[in-house]
Amino acid sequence: MRLLFNIIATPISWLYSLVVWVRNALFEERIFPSFSVNVPTICIGNLAVGGTGKTPMTEYLVRLLSEKYNVAVLSRGYGRKTSGFRLAGVSDTAETIGDEPMLIHLHFPNIPVAVCANRVEGIRRLCKLCPKVQCVILDDAYQHRHLRCGYYILLTAYDKLFVNDYMLPRGTLRDLPIESRRANTVVVTKCPPGMQPIDRRIVNNQLMLPSYQHLCYSSIAYGEVELPGTPLLVAGIANPKPLLEYLKKQYPKTALMEYRDHHAFSHRDVQKILKLAEQFDCVVTTEKDYMRMQQTSLVQQLGEKLIVVPIKTDFGEDKETFDRAVMLYVAENNRQKNTP
């Protein structure tokens, strides 16, 4: 079956690759216009479809930069039921701004968080409303080439490096591997704990990055939570496998109820989850899923039986290298911005 799928999908992938190549070439030759803005901009993105840890990375950058600079976040707001530009406020929910921006807004209530599918328009309106902003972090804007960002951070998952993947629909790549050259820093995410130097060398040799790019490694750090017993993991994220493996180390009988990324839980979903939850001691979910669950009766009906696991990005020994590169970019560009 897999062989048959590859035979059918391969020519479609070639055609898709050609379309993407032509689009990128038109931007490179300035036939398609792109614009820069008068504020330092950091773009977080990937070449694949979801599952590389963009939201934890966005939060990491907010924590890093907000200690010294006025930071704002601009996202597309995927899955929201509104359109156009919207600056997050006290009345917003995952339905109005999307689950990921809503999560960032709740974690950092004093940081401007805006959503807009058109990043050029979005960043201009954001800076007009918040003129003191000194840096804008853009979530998932690597392919949005109408905006020329100042600093690009490309994420690629350890278990599925972009060099070992294929273009859609045969693989998960939505952009050509050669477009990795636009990144200032490449971060290999979701690395296993205790990664050895030999493992790094293997990845280094596979990626073969040019000398002008920084290469850093990060892993997922789950917040400590006390579970009363075997959990049911309910996840509507791109790749729930790392969290499932984390839970199974302590609770081997952990079960997974999986939904597609950004899934909006329906009344029918709620009934299914509640019925299956009766067989388990607790229900575990991610913070991003919790944002969408709040729009249903699930949170209230599960009560204390529902446990949310926080997720953060951990750079380990690469923290100083990564932090220094990002801070240097923002510092230099704020000096240039303030120079008469």
- The per-residue pLDDT for range 138-152, each reduced to its tens digit, is 999 999 999 999 999
pTM: 0.95
Select from 139, 225, 242, 150 the least CA-distant residue to 189: 242
What average pLDDT does range 60-76 have in this prediction? 97
* More confident of the two residues 151 and 51: 151
Percent share of the chain, pLDDT over 70: 99
Half-sphere exposure of 6 (CA within 13 A, CB side): 5
First CA to last CA across the chain, in angstroms? 64
Taking only the tens place, the pLDDT of each residue in 238-279 is 999 999 999 999 999 999 999 999 999 999 999 999 999 999
Helix axes 54-65, 99-107, angle to 10 degrees: 30
Task: Give Cβ neighbours of residue 336 (< 8 Å, ≥ 6 apart).
Answer: none
Helix or strand run (H / E) with residue 307: strand 306-309
Architecture of domain 224-309: 3-Layer(aba) Sandwich (3.40)
Whether CATH 3.40.50.300 fits 41-220+315-335: yes
What average pLDDT does range 306-319 have in this prediction? 97
Mean pLDDT of the chain: 95
Select from 262, 255, 263 the least CA-distant residue to 282: 255
What's the confidence (pLDDT) of residue 146? 97
DSSP 118: S
What average pLDDT does range 203-215 have in this prediction? 97
- Tell me if 72 sits within 8 A of 88, measured CB to CB: no
- Tell me if 26 sits within 8 A of 32, measured CB to CB: yes
What's the confidence (pLDDT) of residue 338? 61
Locate CATH 3.40.50.300 in the chain. 41-220+315-335
What's the one-letter identity of residue 249? Answer: K
Before 228, cis peptide (omega within 30)? no
Helix axes 54-65, 319-338, angle to 10 degrees: 60
- Tell me if 288 sits within 8 A of 238, measured CB to CB: no
Q: Tokens 């993407």 correspond to what residue?
A: 20
Round to whole Å and give the CA distance between 141 and 119: 8
